Amino acid sequence: MTDLLLNGHDPAADRAVLQALVSFQQATPAADLPTRSHEAWRSALTPFRTARALPERQQQACERSLALLLDEVLAQPTIALHPQLGGAGAGPVTADIGRLLRHQPLEEDVELDLAVRWWQLARAAGLPVDADFGECFRLLEWTWLLQQLVQPQPGATSVKVALRYAPIKPLLLWLEPRSGVAPKAGYTF
C-alpha cells in the first residue's frame, strides 16, 4: 500500500498517493460504517465554542457561522474514511483529501493543484463530489476547518480559511486567540 503522504515536490509520487486514496474511497463501501452525528460534532465543538466569552451579538454571529459550517459539512455525501489519515468509519467525501493536503505544509499553488487532481480522479471514479471544482474546494476547506475546530489549538491555516469565506468569517472571533495568529488579509469566494 502506498503511504498516504504528499510532498509537493515529486509529482509522480503525489499522483500515486492521490490515486491510492481515490482507489480506497471507490472500493470501500461506507453503508455499514459508523458516522459522527450532528450531536457528536456539537459536543466535540463545545470547548471551542466556550473558550472565549463574547458580547451577545458576536456570540450569536459565531454560533450562526458554526451552525452553517456544520450543516454544510454534514450535508455532503459520505464515504469510507481512510485509516491512514486518522479517519474511522464514514464521513464527508472531502474529509480525507482535506486531511491529506493539510497534513504537512504545502505551498498554496501546489495544494490547489493537488486538490484539482484529486477532484478529477474522484469524478472519473464516480465518487460523489460536486461537479463544480470551486464548490468542492470550498467544502474541502470547510470540512478541514471543522476537523481543526475540535483540536486543542487550531493552526494558522484555520484563520486563513475562516477569513476566506464571508459566511464563516465571524469564527475568527473564536479562532484568533486560540490559533495565536491575527488575520492579515483574505479573499472571499
CATH number, domain of 113, equals 3.90.1200
pLDDT digits (tens, 9 = 90+) for 21-46: 999 999 999 988 999 999 999 999 99
**Cα–chain center distance at 68:** 14
Range scoring the smallest mean pLDDT among 2-6, 11-15, 121-125: 2-6
Residue 174: inside a domain: yes
Q: What is the percentage of the chain residues whose pLDDT exceeds 90?
A: 72
Rounded to whole angstroms, the Cα distance separating 142 from 157 reads 11
Total number of residues shown for the chain: 189
Residue 185: inside a domain: no
Query: Looking at residues 99-124, what average pLDDT do you find?
Result: 93
Give the pLDDT of residue 181.
60
Mean per-residue pLDDT of the chain: 90
pLDDT digits (tens, 9 = 90+) for 38-92: 999 999 999 999 888 899 999 999 999 999 999 999 999 999 999 999 878 999 9
Residue 188: inside a domain: no
Residue 6: inside a domain: no
Q: How many domains does the chain have?
A: 1
- In which domain, by residue range, is 48 found? 11-179
Rounded to whole angstroms, the Cα distance separating 156 from 178 reads 10
Give the pLDDT of residue 61.
96
pLDDT digits (tens, 9 = 90+) for 168-184: 999 999 998 765 565 55
Q: Which residues contact 28 (CB under 8 A, 6 or more apart)?
A: 79, 80
Residue 156: inside a domain: yes
Give the pLDDT of residue 141.
97
